[in-house]
Structure 1
Amino acid sequence: MTDQRWTLRTEHTSYTVRLCPDGPWAELDAWGPLGVEHGPSALHRSRRTHFITPADAAPAEYLPYGLRPFTGAELVASRPGGEDRGVWWEFTGAEEQPGALRLAFTDELLGLRTVLCYATVPGTDVIHRWTELTATGELRLERLDSAAVNIPVTGAARLTYLSGQWSQEFGRTQLDLARGTFTIGSLQGAPGHAYAPWLAVQDGEAAYGLALEWPGNWHITAEAEPGGSLRVRAGRVPHEGAVRLAPGETLTTPRLACAFSPDGLDGLSRVWHGYERVLSGERLHRPRKVLYNSWEATGFDVDAAGQLELAKAAADIGAELFVVDDGWFTGRADDTGGLGDWYPDPAAFPDGFGQFIDAVKALGLDFGLWVEPEAVSPGSRLYAEHPEWVYRVDGRPSRLVRNQLLLDLGRTDVQDFVIGTLDRLLGAYDIDYLKWDMNRPPTERGRPGAGPVDLDAEHVAGYLRVLDHLRAAHPHVTVEGCAGGGGRVDHATIARTDVVWPSDNTAPLDRLSVQHGFLHAHAPHIMSSWVTDAPGVFDPRPRSLAFRFVNAMCGVLGVGADLRAWTAQQRAEAAGWIARYKEVREVIHHGEARLLGTPQDPSCGVQYDLGGRTVVAALSTGRLDGAPLLPGRPDRLRLRGLDPAARYRDTATGTSYSGAHLLHHGLPFPWSAGHDADLVVLIRE
């Protein structure tokens, strides 16, 4: 077999694939900084194998069960009855274009053509990988991963992943994997609260990152293999355990985004941030407005007078957007009813919902609304008229989660209903913002009488169809993605929304940990964060209003507290913080972000750099050092990425620092009981 190699190049990295001379598969030859492909591959091996096949030991890009029988395959296919389980393919051609590559493999006997697809993302260091599977006869696919990624490691691989549960999402978690298998994923019909579809692998300072673009069931599996390499497989997980492929049908797997940075997790986070700015497209340049959300102030007790009182208070402190959360529609006195019947409650808005919105807008505020389009209450009119629209299994009871059922969004008629509902609301009322929530996973996931269906993929397609319609039909509407907090944060959602909600937990130190993990994988301009009165749930240490504001200003600032209970002094302080945020939000949303320390350190923060301005959000998380009763010094945060020879002036104090001083000694922060947060703006002189 002729040795063939192809190299994809991003802004700073290269990725080289070759056709293996030992068998019909593609292998990774090199991945790293530009030029890494020149020299013997770090993944080359002796080709001596014992009790495994050459394919099992190979750093293959994608292999089926059949060719790779022992150490894990990306593709498991068979005929419908399960006979002839396995694929034995041959290489049938390559198509190469600038920034793109397609490698085709065919099993004529089984009747399957597999194309491995690669594409660089211009202006980033991200490469997309996915697979196209085309059948000539009916097939059964038990595993249909998107890709496998091979990483040469010199010792145990350091894995970083984001884990937790509802209200504790995005906890940065690390382990060293010397041998064995590590798996994360979700079977909840969404990425879920337990794990984000994201993984980082470190070998020394080099950091490799993977993120799966799929808002349904998924897995990422890392295997430390014989021979000293780490192999990561990622893909969707069919709800039914297998997917049927009809003759002539092509199935396209979700895209796997692959990223590399020579600068560790810090550098890798900036690669992901840059990629998500590309995903936002032109909407990146629309300012994310300071919002006020009424949920924590009023809960389900929504009426026009109370909401207008809150809107007036929000406008007075500088908010730009007022969002009415759950409780605005008919039958929604609590969480047991109303979902599916999306009409404003006339008792709550006696002068009409449109007039209420006009009154909010007269205060100089945009208007937003909470919706949960996939949910239905058992007592709703919608459920009475269309009980067949919910997921169900004949003869089995339907469980309620949060007192509600889930619509089968894979059905075209359900999609049309949701689209029609949103079009009606957005057409009848002057709405600028939608918060799309999802508060229950699918449980009895069936569609009686439908035959073999791919329910998870169809729900995802329906969800994305509705979001795409919102973008096309209502381009002025800002969309926030939410699923009981951070339960559905993935690149498919991020590409179709403007912001996402990382967690329902808004307590200051709890939220700090959530945001610290979130910013490893996701950009500040999509991170919605509120200032509330919520006490610490998991870390009850009190923190000041300043701490809550500086913490929330690390992303897209919002306020969710009951402003009616705030003192005049608190409102004045809030107005000051909001004004400061508006001055620097361009730097926070468009600049390069660097995480300074961790929430476990006495001081931590985030540094943002753009156009000669550096913004540092600094937070005190630990106990004080005893000063002034005992000798002590201010805490310092060492900055990064500055020019050592340049000078930087603090706009508030006028103090001038050399870049070398800020890099070596850091910015000083004399924390005290009444001063536990600060926002510093430095101008390069």
Structure 2
Amino acid sequence: MTSYPRWTLRTEHTSYTVRLSPDGPWAELDAWGPLGVEDGPSALDWSHRTHFVTPADAAPAEYLPYGLRPFTGSELVAARPGQDRGSWWDFDSAEEGEGSLRLTFTDDVLGLRTVLCYETVPGTDVILRWTELTSTQELRLERLDSAAVNIPVTGAARLTYLTGQWSQEFWRTQLDLSRGTFTMGSLQGAPGHGYAPWLAVQDGEAEAAYGIALEWSGNWHITAEAEPGGSVRVRAGRVPHEGVVHLTPGDTLTTPRLACAFSPDGLDGLSRVWHRYERHLAGERLNRPRKVLYNSWEATGFDVDAAGQLELAKLAADIGAELFVVDDGWFTGRGDDTGGLGDWYPDPAAFPQGFGPFVEDIRALGLDFGLWVEPEAVSPTSRLYAEHPEWVYRIEGRPARLVRNQLLLDLGRTDVQDFVIGTLDRLLGAYDISYLKWDMNRPPTERGRPGHGPADLDAEHVAGYLRVLDHLRAAHPDVTVEGCAGGGGRIEHATIARTDVVWPSDNTAPLDRLSVQHGFLHAHAPHVMSSWVTDAPGILDPRPRSLAFRFVNAICGVLGIGADLRAWTPQERAEAAEWIARYKRVRDVVHRGEARLLGTPDDSTCGVQYDLDDRTVVAALGTGRLDGAPLLPGRPDRLRLRDLEPAAHYRDTATGTTYSGAHLLHYGLPFAWSAGHDAELVVLIRQ
């Protein structure tokens, strides 16, 4: 029997085995799962039955071009200009390294060299995959996915993904796919509010979960196909705005990285794999405490002036905030959303003593200072637009459409990138700013660059965006950067790797935000989840919740306050100060510990458990009806904890009550909710 080469990549707890197919010049998945899963016959073996399809169409291929795989979905569609589409390649070589693999295929007729790249991420169960495409001829690429992922199933595949719209981002959604195709994505020049570039796949209701996440800040798609024979094949990659990418001889195009993860412990276990990966992306910056911020937007809107901001800053400092952020409205011409963008100079009327002395006054209160910017946007009435109308996306002879009364700069242009870098350098150099909130509120519409010929505009904008973020990292390493795009419109691993926190949603209403954060934490880590306490009433769920509920919910990530503190009573400010002090005592556990999602927002009690060393922190939230509960006999709600040591004992630091691990695992923590008590933060110490 002929032996075909196999390669196995191993992570901390999983292995991923690829082999050359016995039926053609391609690589296919042999095994993926817990360590040792590769020892035995492949669960993806389709036994060479290919009636009415080609062997390539039936194979669990890692990546195949149209031509070799004509029927069931290919990852690469390439052609020479004016010629028929298709590639028929041959295997060239394999290069195996420590935790890496490169498989090379060549098509000498077409003039294309394709390298499938694999890399494990130390300390995680994530494998990164991407593809490098090098041309020796003029080529058109109509599809250029990053990778395909094959998952064996015995019945319908359970897909879990994160959906929504503005103010409803990251809602966990599930679909059972027995046959057919499921696809999601964005053509908005950013991941968008509708879908996150993240997908989990399970074999029906089986516990084991496979996940993928695309590292790309522009247009994208993820497509899952339930194929005949019991497998799901997921393709993912960027989507060129122009529908095609042109390569000239000698060009190499590198696709976005696709992170692939596996956990035997279901969606909750898979979430911890992603959390560990994002802690890896943070590197040493994870050890810098995420400071408690106060943001003035919801208190003042565009009505920004030094006296009003200082009044808020003093109140914020009194309750324990560590950082004061002035949001939109601080710069010239920004009395409302019709002007000012692009002219990034403090408004002298708002800061009559100068912006520098204002910043110094904020810092004299013991607060760091932060500023909101939207550097990709420009107002048609701005001086910048008058001087450089050619810098905006536009199509010759067509009207420029306003979205939110603004246009979008072509950040793919080097001169625009240099302007943005120069603007941020000027602000950060002139004033003692330690925090930048980068917002993006306007997707590209008339996306053209007249007079410059064919261009890969989407990829060039992403490259420009990442170049600016990389510059901020290198030139201003002490500045904390928050990523925002009208809420959660641009959250993926390329952004998370270059920012410190991200803003999941503009919706800060208590129960609405709970659903947003529950979905968010499936894909992303607590240390990147900026979450505010505000006065916002429920947009989707108007049931009132206490100040305690709003604080405990926000403590599940990076705590901020966005309420109008001037309207709070002294008692409310005192309660807020206590919650902030409690948060500071446990934020290292929340941000660096292992997080476990306990229940869902649909349950009467849900929460998040965080474990680090000998400490367990539980953020518990009562989501059910509160009226009448004390009038009828019944027991307290209980929240069962997970993965504790059954024989160990755990002491509640607030009440002194001691529980066995077995008790907490079997019965759970008790909570007697009422109208005045609908949330709690419990800290347990293992004895």
Please report the TM-score for the alignment, with normalisation by the length of structure 2: 0.99
Q: How does 1:241-320 map to 2 (within 5 A)?
A: 241-320=243-322
Letter of the 2:639 partner, please give it: L
1:548 and 1:22 map into 2 onto residues whose CA distance is: 59
Match for residue 555 of structure 2?
553
Alignment map for 1:517-528 (pairs within 5 Å): 517-528=519-530
Task: Supply the AA of the counterpart residue of 2:611.
Answer: D
SS in 2 for 1:288: coil
Measured in 2, the distance between the counterparts of 1:192 and 1:628 equals: 44
- How many Å separate the matches in 2 of 1:58 and 1:624? 55
> Counterpart of 2:148 in structure 1: which amino acid?
A
Asked whether the equivalents of residues 625 and 632 of structure 1 are also in contact (C-alpha less than 8 Å), the reply is no
Cα 1:658–1:294 shift into 2, 3 Å: same
Question: How do 1:533-552 residues align onto structure 2 when only pairs under 5 Å count?
Answer: 533-552=535-554
Deviation at 1:155, TM superposition (A): 1.1
Letter paired with 2:429: G
SS at match of 1:628: helix
Inter-partner Cα distance in structure 2 for 1:625 and 1:291: 34
Give the Cα–Cα distance (whole angstroms) in 2 for the partners of residues 156 and 220 of structure 1.
18
Cα distance in 1 for partners of 2:633, 2:386 equals 72
Question: Which whole-Å CA distance do the structure 2 matches of 1:281 and 1:410 have between them?
Answer: 28
Counterpart of 2:615? 613
Cα distance between partner residues in 1 of 2:91 and 2:70: 19
1:179 partner amino acid: R
Structure 2 partner of 1:10 = 11
Q: Deviations over 1:607-644 (max 9, x none)?
A: 00001100000000011484432111100000001000
Residue pair 1:652, 1:681 contacting (<8 A) in 2 also: yes
| C-alpha deviation, 1:98, in angstroms | 1.1
| Residue in structure 1 matched with residue 403 of structure 2 by the alignment | 401
| Rounded Cα–Cα distance in structure 2 between residues aligned with 1:418 and 1:454 | 21
- Render the CA deviation track for 1:338-357: whole Å, top value 9, x for unaligned: 00000000000000000000
Secondary structure, counterpart of 1:469 in structure 2: helix
Which position in structure 1 is the counterpart of 2:680?
A: 678
1:185 match? 185
**In 2, Cα distance between the equivalents of 1:625 and 1:129?**
52
Give the residue type in structure 2 aligned to 1:43. L
Q: Which of 364, 367, 381 is the aligned partner of 1:365?
A: 367
1:601 aligns with 2:589: no
| Pairwise CA distance, 1:214 | 0.1
Does the CA contact (< 8 Å) of 2:240 and 2:456 recur in 1?
yes
For residue 197 of structure 1, what is the amino acid of its counterpart? P
Kindly indicate whether residue 56 of structure 2 is the aligned counterpart of residue 55 of structure 1.
yes
Trace 1:120-519 onto structure 2 (pairs within 5 A). Answer: 120-203=120-203, 204-519=206-521
Distance in 1 between the 2:339 and 2:643 partners? 53
Displacement of 1:154 after TM fit? 1.4
| Distance of 1:429 and 1:649 partners within structure 2 | 47
1:149 and 1:158 map into 2 onto residues whose CA distance is: 15
Q: Partner of 1:638 in structure 2? A: 640
User: What corresponds to 1:96 in structure 2?
Assistant: 96
SS at match of 1:359: helix
* Partners of 1:135 and 1:250 within 8 A in 2: yes
Q: What is the rounded CA distance, in whole Å, between the counterparts of 1:123 and 1:312 in structure 2? A: 43
Structure 2 Cα separation of the partners of residues 113 and 629 of structure 1:
74
Tell me how far apart the structure 1 counterparts of residues 509 and 451 of structure 2 sit (CA, whole Å). 47
CA–CA separation in structure 2 for the residues paired with 1:391 and 1:80: 27
Equivalent AA in structure 2 for residue 593 of structure 1: A
* Secondary structure, counterpart of 2:64 in structure 1: coil
Partner of 2:65: 64
In the other structure, the counterpart of 2:35 is 34
Q: Which one-letter code corresponds to 1:565 in the other structure?
A: A
CA contact (8 A) 1:503 1:514 kept: yes
One-letter amino acid of the structure 2 residue matched with residue 37 of structure 1: E
Q: 1:467 deviation in Å?
A: 0.1
Once residues 625 and 302 of structure 1 are traced to their aligned partners in structure 2, the CA distance between those partners, rounded to angstroms, is 41
Q: Which amino acid aligns with 2:367?
A: L
Partner SS state of residue 630, structure 2: coil
> 8 Å contact 1:80–1:244 — kept in the other structure?
no
Instruction: Report the number of matched residues.
Output: 684
Query: Please, which moves more after superposition, 289-298 or 47-56?
Result: 47-56
CA distance in 1, matches of 2:605, 2:235: 37
Paired with 1:242 and 1:286, the residues of 2 have a C-alpha distance of 43
1:341 touches 1:382 (CA, 8 Å); kept in 2?
yes
Offset, 1:140: 0.1
Partner of residue 654, structure 2: 652
Give the gaps of 5 or more residues in structure 2.
Answer: none
**CA contact under 8 A between 2:11 and 2:123: conserved in structure 1?**
yes
C-alpha distance in structure 1 between counterparts of 2:311 and 2:435, whole Å: 20
SS in 2 for 1:208: strand
CA deviation digits over 1:33-69, x for unaligned, max 9? 0000000000011212111100000000000000000
Counterpart of 2:22 in structure 1 is 21
> Can you list the C-alpha shifts for 1:414-459, whole angstroms capped at 9, x where unaligned?
0000000000000000000000000010000000011110000000
Q: Deviations over 1:110-149 (max 9, x none)?
A: 0000000000000000000000000000100000000000
Question: 2:627–2:675: 8 Å Cα contact kept in structure 1?
Answer: no
CA distance, structure 2, for counterparts of residue 463 and residue 293 of structure 1: 24
Counterpart Cα distance in 2 of 1:199 and 1:503: 19
Query: 1:74 maps to which residue?
Result: 75
Report how far residue 2 of structure 1 moved.
Answer: 5.0
Name the structure 1 match of 2:664.
662
Equivalent position amino acid for 2:186 in 1: S
Runs of 4+ in 1 over 4 A off after TM superposition: none
Counterpart-to-counterpart distance in 2, 1:506 and 1:520: 19
Gaps of 5+ in 1: none
How far apart are the structure 2 equivalents of 1:80 and 1:665?
A: 67
Name the CA distance, whole Å, in 2 between partners of 1:303 and 1:130: 49
Whole-Å Cα distance in 2 between the matches of residues 144 and 2 of structure 1?
Answer: 31
- Quote the Cα distance in structure 2 between the aligned partners of 1:653 and 1:154: 49
Verify the 8 A CA contact 1:626 1:632 in the aligned structure 2: no
The SS at the match of 1:594 is strand
Indicate the residue corresponding to 2:46 in structure 1.
45
Name the counterpart of 1:622.
624
Counterpart residue identity of residue 661, structure 2? G
Counting aligned pairs with the same residue, the percent is 87
Q: Does 1:568 align with 2:570?
A: yes
Instruction: State the AA in 1 paired with 2:494.
Output: A
The aligned residue for residue 114 of structure 2 is 114
Q: Distance in 2 between matches of 1:627 and 1:675?
A: 12
Aligned to 1:86: 86
- How many angstroms apart in 2 are the aligned matches of 1:477 and 1:403? 30
Q: In structure 2, give the amino acid aligned to 1:591.
A: G
Greater alpha carbon shift after TM alignment, 23-32 vs 40-49: 40-49
Displacement of 1:80 = 1.6
**Distance in 1 of aligned mates of 2:651 and 2:48:** 59
Counterpart secondary structure, 1:622: coil
CA distance in 2, matches of 1:563, 1:626: 32
For the residues of structure 1 that align with 2:39 and 2:631, how far apart are their CA atoms?
Answer: 61
